A and B are shown apart, each in its own frame.
Chain A
Amino acid sequence: MPAVHETVEQVRAIDVDQYKYGFVTDVEMDLAPKGLNEDIVRMISAKKGEPSWMTDWRLDAFRRWQTMREPQWARVDYPPIDFNEIHYYAAPKKNNAPKSLDEVDPAILDAYKKLGIPLREQEMLAGVQNSRVAVDAVFDSVSVVTTFKEELSKAGVIFCSMSEALREHPELVRKYLGTVVPVTDNYYATLNCAVFTDGSFVYIPKGVRCPMELSTYFRINEKNTGQFERTLIIAEEGSYVSYLEGCTAPQRDENQLHAAVVELVALDDAEIKYSTVQNWYPGDAEGKGGIYNFVTKRGDCRGRNSKISWTQVETGSSITWKYPSCILRGDGSRGEFYSIAVSNGRQQVDSGTKMIHLGKNTTSRIIAKGISAGRSNSTYRGLVSAHRKATNARNFTNCDSLLIGNKCGAHTVPYIESKNASAVFEHEATTSKISEDQLFYCMQRGLSAEEATALIVNGFVKDVLQQLPMEFAVEAQKLISISLEGSVG
C-alpha cells in the first residue's frame, strides 16, 4: 500500500541529513597533543593564564580521577572509551583574546550565523527590544565572544567566560567552584575538574533581577576532541536570572565525548531558571558516530526560600547520561525539573533528576516526558529523598513515556528515600504508544502521518514547553518534530 511504501522510504532516508547542524567549519586550530597526563593538565591551565591554586586544584582532580572507575549502572551500552585518543584542548588560532567581534575569525562568526545564533548586538537590537538575549559563544575549548557585557555590567551582573572569570574575579570563582559538585563526585565530573577548558560564569548581585536572558551556545567543531565545559552561576540574595544553553556538533563517524559540569548556587530568596536545548549530533540511523553526553548538573538552594528550576529539551547525542539535580538546603526552598527527552534511531538516554530535601518545608516538582522512536532506548532515573530534618518536605513527580513504533523502549526507575515521617512524596507514571489506529484516525481527517505524530507529540509535551522562555519554546517545538521525522511506521 502506498502509505506503507512511503513510510519505508522515509525511514530509509532518516539519517544524517535530518541533522541540520552537521557542517564542519574550517579554522586553523591550536590543538593539544592527544592523550591525558599531568603535563596536559598543566598546559591547559597555563594556556588560560590561571592562578596557581587553580593549577593545583586541577592536578589534584587528575590524580583522583586516575584512581576512579567509569560508572556502569546506567542503562546504556557503548564500547570502552580510550581517554588517550582525545585532544583535551582545541582553540581557534586567531582567537587570542579578541577584544571585539572584528578580531574573531570570520569563519567562526559564519558558523554561528549558520546556526542562527546572533553574535552582533546591533543585529539583536534590530529585533524586538524585549526579546534580547545575551550570548556567550563557546567554540570547542574556548569562549569566542560574549555579547551585551557592558549593559549587563551596568546592572552589576557579571556574565563572561570561565577563563575570564578566573582572571578577573578569581576570589568569586574560588569561593564557589566545586562547592556544589565536589571534585570527586563522579568519574566524569572529576575528569572535568582536571581538564575543563571553558564555559560560562554568571554572578547576579543582591536584589538584582537580571535585565535579559543569558545564554551560552556550545559548539564542538574539531574532531577527536572532547568538550569539557564548566559553568558556574551564583544568584545572591533576592536576585533572579534565567539562563539558557544550546549545543550542536558536526556529523562525524567517530563518537565524541562531552563531559560538562554545571553548578548553580541560589542564596536567600534568589531564583535561577536554567534551560537547556540539547541538540548534539545524535549519530546516524545505524548508531554510528554521535556525541556521548555525560554531564553533571546540580543546583544548590543554599538560601532560605530560594528556587532553582531546570528545564531541558533533549533531542541530540548518541548517549545521554545526565541528572540535573537540586539540593534543597535552605528552609522553604524549591526545586523543579521539567524535561522532554526525545530519542530516535539508535540513541540511548539515561536521564532524570535528584531532589534532595534537607531543609524544612522544602518542595519539589518533577515533570519528565520521554518520547522514544526508532530503535532508541530511554530510561528515566529519578531520586527523591528527605533527610531527617526535612520536616514537611513535599514532592510531586509525574513521569510519562510515549512510544512511537515497536522497536523502541522506555523505562522508569524511581528511587524514593524518606527519613522524615512528615514528608509526602507523590509519584505518577504512564506509558503510552501512538497506535496505528490513532494515526489512521488522524489521517482519515486529512492529516499526514507526520502531522498526526507531531500533533500527538506536541500534546504530550506541552506542559513542559510552557516552562521554556518564550523565545525558545517555538524553536524547541520545531526541534522535536525534526528529531522525529521519519519515525512513523
Chain B
Amino acid sequence: MLEIRNLHVKIEDKKILDGLTLTVNDGEVAAIMGPNGSGKSTLSYVIAGKEDYEVLDGEILLDGENVLEMDPDARAAAGLFLAFQYPLEIPGVATMSFLKAAMGAQRKARGEEELAVGEFLKRVRGAADKLGIPQDMLKRGLNVGFSGGEKKRMEILQMALLEPRFCILDETDSGLDIDALKVVSDGVNALRDGKRSFLVITHYQRLLNYIVPDSVHVMAHGKVVKSGGKELALELEANGYADYKTLAA
C-alpha cells in the first residue's frame, strides 16, 4: 500500500505539489488525470526519489515505510518502479547488459541469488516477445535511436522483468499507435495479480478502456481535487478540466 500524506514539494523556489494526499491499496489500479503542468510527473519523480525536488512537508509510505529517506536505488529495490514519461538514452550500454545489471542489482539488494544466464535470457526473450520487441533491439544501446513508441515498450519490458510491487506509469500511452497501445495494456494487465498496485498517469480515457482502473483522481495545481470511480474519466473526457482548475485555485 502506498500512502501519500499532505505532500508539499518545491523546485527552484516554485511550489509544485501543494498538500497532495492519495492512497493506493494493494492490488489497486489508480488513474491520475489532470491538466498539463498540474504536477503529475513531479509526483512520480518525488515518489521515485529524484534529487532536484525539495520536500517541504508530508510523507510517502510504502507498506508503512517512509521512502523519502531512501536513495532512489533503495526505493527501486523496495519495489517502486517508474515508467518514465521521457525514457533516457544510455549510449554504449546494450539494452541486454542494462537489463542484466538492473536485475542483478535488485536481486542483490533483496538478498536473492543472481539468475543463471540461461534463465535470465529465457525471461528476457519471453517478455520481449509478448511486447513485440524484436531480439536485435536488445543488442542496441538502451533507448538510443528508439522511436517514441519503442521506448515506451522498453519501459514496460523492464517493469515486467523487475517485478515491482508498485508501478507508476507516466503517460505510457502517449506516442503509442493503436496496436501498440493494446500490446502494452495487455502487458500491464498481465502483471495485475491482486497484490501489485499501479498508479497510471494519462491524459486519455481511451487507455482506461484497456487498463480498467479501480479509482480515478483528478490533479490540479499540485493536489488531488476530485476522486471517483472509472466513470469519472468519462466525465472528464466530456467536460474537460475547466471546473477543477477554478476549484483548486
Within 8 A of A (CB), among B31-88: 48-52, 69-73, 75-77, 81-82, 84, 87-88
B71 touches A442 (CB 8 A): no
Contact of B102 among A4, A447, A459 (CB under 8 A): A447
Find out whether the CB atom of A436 lies under 8 angstroms from the CB atom of B88: no
Contacts of B82 in A (CB 8 A): 444
Taking CB atoms, residues of chain A closer than 8 Å to B162 are 445-446
Complex contact A456–B72 (CB within 8 A) = no
Question: Would A446 and B88 count as touching, CB distance under 8 A?
Answer: no
| CB of B115 closer than 8 Å to a CB of A | no
Q: What 0/1 readout, one digit per residue, does chain B (96-131) give for beta carbons within 8 Å of chain A?
A: 011001110110010000000000000000000000
Say yes or no: B88 contacts A462, CB within 8 Å.
no
Decide: B106 and A446 in contact? CB cutoff 8 A. Answer: yes
**How distant is B242 from chain A, measured CB to nearest CB, in Å?**
34
* In the complex, chain B residues whose CB is within 8 Å of the CB of A456: 90, 92-93
Q: How far is the CA of A456 from the CA of B94 in the complex (A)?
A: 10
The answer to whether A446 and B109 touch across the interface, beta carbons within 8 angstroms, is yes
A421 interface residue per 8 A CB criterion: no
Collect the chain A residues with CB atoms within 8 Å of residue B103's CB.
446
Question: What is the bound-complex CA distance between A449 and B88, given in angstroms?
Answer: 15
CB of B158 closer than 8 Å to a CB of A: yes
* Residue in chain A with minimal CB distance to B52: A436
Chain B positions within 8 Å of A448 at CB level: 71, 73, 105
Is B91 in contact with chain A by the CB < 8 A criterion? yes
Give the contacting residue for B88; candidates A3, A437, A451, A460; CB below 8 A: A437
Assess whether B105 is in contact with A4, with CB atoms less than 8 Å apart: no
Considering the chains assembled together, what is the distance between the CA atoms of A328 and B76 in angstroms?
A: 54
Q: Report if A37 contacts B (CB, 8 A).
A: no
**Is the Cβ of A3 less than 8 Å from the Cβ of B106?**
no
Q: Which residues from 212 to 251 on chain A have a C-beta closer than 8 Å to any C-beta of chain B?
A: none
Assess whether A79 is interfacial by the CB under 8 Å rule: no
A249 to B63, CA, bound (A): 52
A444→B92 contact, CB < 8 A: no
**What distance in Å separates the Cβ of A428 from its nearest Cβ neighbour in chain B?**
14
Known interface pairs A2-B70, A447-B105, A451-B101. Does A442 touch B90 (Cβ–Cβ under 8 Å)? yes
Provide the A453-482 mask, 1 if CB < 8 A to any CB of B, else 0. Answer: 001101110100000000000000000000
Min Cβ gap A466→B in Å is: 13
Contact A459 B51 (CB under 8 A): no
Does residue A441 face the partner (Cβ distance < 8 Å to B)?
yes
- In the bound complex, do residue A3 and residue B51 qualify as a contact, i.e. CB atoms below 8 Å apart? yes
B71 lies within 8 A of A444 (CB): no
A447/B101 contact (C-beta < 8 A), A2-B70, A459-B141 known: yes
Per the CB 8 Å criterion, the residue count for chain B at the interface is 35
Would you call A441 and B76 a contact (CB within 8 A)?
no
Q: Which of A1, A446, A459 has the most CB of B within 10 A?
A: A446
Asked if B71 and A441 make an inter-chain contact with CB atoms under 8 angstroms apart, the answer reads no
Contact B71 A3 (CB under 8 A): yes
* Residues of chain B with a CB closer than 8 A to A462's CB: 92
List residues of chain B with CB within 8 A of the CB of A4.
Answer: 51
Bound complex: CA A449 to CA B109 (Å): 14
CB <8 Å contact, B97 and A441: no
Of B48, B51, B102, the residue contacting A1 (CB under 8 A) is: B51
CB of B104, distance to nearest CB on chain A (Å): 9
Residues of B near A1 (CB, < 8 A) are 49, 51
The answer to whether A443 touches B73, judged by C-beta atoms less than 8 angstroms apart, is: yes
Instruction: Give the A interface residue count (CB, 8 A).
Output: 27
Task: Please tell me if the beta carbons of A441 and B88 are within 8 angstroms of each other in the complex.
Answer: yes
> Contact at A438–B88, with CB atoms within 8 Å?
yes
Q: Does A432 count as interface, using CB distance less than 8 angstroms?
A: yes
User: Does A57 have its Cβ within 8 Å of any Cβ on chain B?
Assistant: no
A440 near B50 with CB under 8 A, answer yes
Verify A446–B91 contact, CB threshold 8 A: no
**Chain B residues with CB under 8 A of A440:** 48-51, 72
Asked whether A30 is an interface residue with its Cβ less than 8 Å from the other chain, the reply is no
Report whether B71 and A443 are in contact in the complex, using a CB–CB cutoff of 8 Å: yes
- Give the residues in chain A near B91, CB-CB below 8 Å: 432, 459-460
A444 close to B76 (CB less than 8 A)? yes
Complex interface bits, A411-449 against B, C-beta within 8 A gives 1, otherwise 0 = 000000000000000000000100111101111111111
Residues of B within 8 A of A443 (CB): 49, 71-73, 76
Q: Among B71, B92, B94, point to the contact of A460 (Cβ < 8 A).
A: B92
A441 to B106, CA, bound (A): 14
Q: Are A436 and B93 in contact (CB under 8 A)?
A: no
Residue of B nearest to A448 (CB): B73
Query: How far apart are the CA atoms of A444 and B106 in the complex, in Å?
Result: 10
Q: Which residues of B contact A460 (CB under 8 A)?
A: 91-92
Task: State the CA gap A458–B93 with chains docked (Å).
Answer: 8
Q: Which of B52, B88, B93, B105 contacts A459 (CB 8 A)?
A: B93
Residues of A within 8 A of B87 (CB): 441
B88 touches A2 (CB 8 A): no
Chain A contacts of B49 at CB under 8 A? 1, 3, 440, 443-444
Q: Tell me whether A446 and B102 are in contact in the complex, defined as CB-CB below 8 angstroms, given that A1-B51, A455-B97 are known contacts.
A: yes
Question: Which residues in A have their C-beta under 8 angstroms from that of B106?
Answer: 445-446
Residue of B nearest to A440 (CB): B50
Within the assembled complex, what's the spacing in Å between the Cα atoms of A3 and B73?
10
Interface 0/1 of A1-25, CB less than 8 Å to B: 1111010000000000000000000
Q: Taking A441-B84, A445-B158, A445-B162 as contacts, is the C-beta distance between A451 and B105 under 8 angstroms?
A: yes
Compute how far the CA of A435 lies from the CA of B91 in the bound complex, rounded to whole angstroms. 12
- In the bound complex, residues from chain A placing their C-beta under 8 Å from that of B76 are 443-446
Cα–Cα, bound, A435→B89 (Å):
10
Alpha-carbon distance A179/B24, docked complex (angstroms): 77
Q: Do A2 and B90 form a contact, CB below 8 Å, given A445-B102, A446-B77, A447-B105? A: no
A235, B98: Cα distance in complex, Å: 43
B109 to chain A, nearest CB (A): 6
B48 touches A2 (CB 8 A): no
- Report the nearest B residue to A438, measured CB to CB: B88
Give the complex CA separation of A459 and B48 in angstroms. 25
Q: Please state if A444 and B69 are interface contacts (CB–CB under 8 Å).
A: no
Q: Is the CB of A446 within 8 A of B71?
A: no
Sample 27 A-B pairs with CB under 8 A, ordered by A number.
Answer: A4-B51, A438-B88, A440-B51, A442-B90, A442-B102, A444-B48, A444-B49, A444-B72, A444-B75, A444-B81, A444-B82, A444-B84, A445-B98, A445-B158, A446-B73, A446-B76, A446-B77, A446-B109, A446-B162, A447-B105, A448-B71, A451-B105, A455-B93, A455-B98, A458-B93, A459-B91, A459-B92
Known: A437-B88, A445-B105, A458-B92. 14 other contacts (CB 8 A): A2-B70, A2-B71, A443-B71, A444-B76, A445-B76, A446-B103, A446-B106, A447-B73, A448-B73, A455-B93, A455-B97, A459-B90, A459-B141, A460-B92
